[in-house]
Chains A and B, each alone.
Chain A
Amino acid sequence: DIQMTQSPSSLSASVGDRVTITCRASQSISSNLNWYQQKPGKAPKVLIYAASSLQSGVPSRFSGSGSGTDFTLTISSLQPEDFATYYCQQSYSTPLTFGPGTKVDIK
């Protein structure tokens, strides 16, 4: 199975901050990497697919980059509605696996 790790596990930030979350795969997954946002009590929502493609309807302040084993999700200017937990997920091979999540909360 491909193991996914994320860093940091949590971070505190202020509205307007630039936020970067890192995801690493245990082997190369090319660009087969998705990012999801989950708010408490809600289902996750896809933000980025194929490492860098913005899902329709997602604000352009979200961006993704990377390939191989190292990936990054960037929020260019954090908004109040962005406080949530973010998960990466590899879509390279089954079993599909998720990172442990990064919780972004208010500083």
Chain B
Amino acid sequence: QVQLQESGPGLVKPSETLSLTCAVSGGSISDYYWTWIRQAPGKGLEWIGYIYYSGSSDNNPALKSRVTISVDTSKNQFSLKLSSVTAADTAVYYCARGGKTVDYWGQGTLVTVSS
């Protein structure tokens, strides 16, 4: 059974960079796409982007060039960096397996942007 676990700071200051890692267990990171999705409190789901295990990626233009998604196959994990954060980036961040359809999800981690 594939399991995903997000980790990273729960509080980030405005203008700083949000950094999260998703550790994958119970299966290899190879041969799949891996995705980040977020959900602001009380709101719907927003696709952030995905990365293939080989390193090719795509992300949401709405986030402009603030998003970087990377993968580390040696550690079986992938990561998200979101720069220049504001209060609007406060959300539960989910990592998930899959590209255009995701099947396994992490439990999600709340990241609050506040000084």
Q: Which A residues have a C-beta under 8 Å from some C-beta of B?
A: 1, 32, 34, 36, 42-46, 49-50, 55, 87, 89, 91, 94-101
**Could you tell me the distance between the alpha carbons of A97 and B37 in the complex, rounded to whole angstroms?**
10
Q: What B residues does A36 contact at CB under 8 A? A: 45
**Could you tell me the distance between the alpha carbons of A36 and B59 in the complex, rounded to whole angstroms?**
21
CB of B52 closer than 8 Å to a CB of A? no
Q: What A residues does B26 contact at CB under 8 A? A: none
Q: What A residues does B103 contact at CB under 8 A? A: 46, 55
Q: What B residues does A91 contact at CB under 8 A? A: 100-101
Interface residue range, chain B? 10 to 19
A55-B103, A91-B100, A96-B100 known; A43-B46 Cβ under 8 A:
no
Q: CB < 8 Å: which of B47, B60, B101 contacts A49?
A: B101
B60 to chain A, nearest CB (A): 4
A43-B106, A44-B45 known; A95-B101 Cβ under 8 A:
no
The A contact surface, by secondary structure, is loop
B39 to chain A, nearest CB (A): 9
CB of B27 closer than 8 Å to a CB of A? no
Q: Does B44 lie within 8 Å of A95, measured CB to CB?
A: no
Q: CB < 8 Å: which of A42, A45, A49, A95 contacts B61?
A: A95
**Could you tell me the distance between the alpha carbons of A72 and B89 in the complex, rounded to whole angstroms?**
32
Q: Does B107 lie within 8 Å of A98, measured CB to CB?
A: no
Q: CB < 8 Å: which of A32, A46, A95, A100 contacts B102?
A: A46
Q: CB < 8 Å: which of A42, A46, A89, A94 contacts B45?
A: A89
**Could you tell me the distance between the alpha carbons of A98 and B100 in the complex, rounded to whole angstroms?**
11
